[in-house]
């Protein structure tokens, strides 16, 4: 099945399930702008926090990699295994978490923003807490110097992400009810 026939099938199916929503690409290649007067409810504090965390990510990763190499031989087997697992998991999870949060916030997408918040709550907080508070792993000064700001970022993103997801969900519900009321009014006329 070619790409164009798949796109056509998806367009037909989408139009049947959700009338009025088109998937045709915009001629300029950019996403369409919101209509004039449309309210944007993206969270600027969350976007700023995510932006600075994305800028901080390479520094955090580099210091963790250098410290990992420096202290790997000095740890016992169990702490070395735990530390390797946590560092690799945190590095992979952090990049994905920031991407999902940034895109969810920019596109005002409730599922992405909720997924970002859940990843932050269920994965980022425990992993960063283990990196920061594990006394079995030798903690060096450079490691602590990058882990504390990262913990502040994660905490701020947890609070701001919850507030943004809640406000965005309420906004989407009110838009749905307004559109539903408008359709009911059109049917009655």
Per-residue pLDDT reduced to its tens digit, 158-188:
999 999 999 988 888 888 888 888 888 888 8
Name the H helices within the chain: 3-17, 44-71, 77-107, 110-119, 125-133, 141-188
Please give the tally of structural domains in the chain.
1
pLDDT for the residue numbered 41:
76
Q: Tell me the pLDDT tens digit for each residue of 14-58.
A: 565 555 544 455 455 555 555 545 667 788 999 999 999 999 999
Tokens (6 digits) for 182: 């408008």
Structural domain includes residue 11: no
Whether 30 maps to a domain, the answer reads no
In the block, residue with structure tokens 């997924």:
115
What is the value of pTM for the model shown? Answer: 0.73
User: Could you give the CA distance from residue 57 to residue 154 in angstroms, rounded to a whole number?
Assistant: 12
Residue 19 belongs to some domain of the structure: no
Token couple for 148: 């504390």
* Residue 55 domain-assigned (yes or no): yes
Q: Which domain holds residue 72?
A: 44-179
């Amino acid at each position: 099945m070619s790409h164009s026939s798949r796109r056509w099938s998806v367009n037909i199916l989408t139009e049947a399930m959700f009338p009025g929503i088109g998937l045709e690409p915009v001629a300029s290649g950019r996403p369409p702008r919101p209509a004039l007067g449309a309210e944007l409810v993206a969270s600027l504090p969350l976007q700023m926090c995510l932006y600075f965390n994305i800028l901080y990510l390479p520094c955090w990763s580099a210091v963790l990699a250098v410290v990992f190499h420096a202290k790997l031989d000095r740890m016992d087997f169990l702490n070395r295994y735990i530390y390797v697992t946590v560092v690799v998991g945190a590095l992979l999870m952090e990049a994905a978490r920031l991407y999902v949060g940034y895109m969810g916030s920019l596109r005002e997408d409730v599922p992405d923003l909720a997924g970002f918040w859940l990843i932050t709550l269920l994965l980022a907080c425990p992993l960063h807490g283990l990196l920061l508070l594990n006394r079995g792993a030798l903690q060096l000064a450079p490691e602590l110097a990058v882990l504390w700001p990262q913990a502040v970022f994660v905490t701020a993103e947890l609070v701001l992400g919850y507030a943004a997801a809640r406000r965005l969900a309420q906004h989407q519900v009110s838009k749905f009810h307004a559109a539903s009321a408008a359709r009911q009014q059109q049917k009655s006329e």
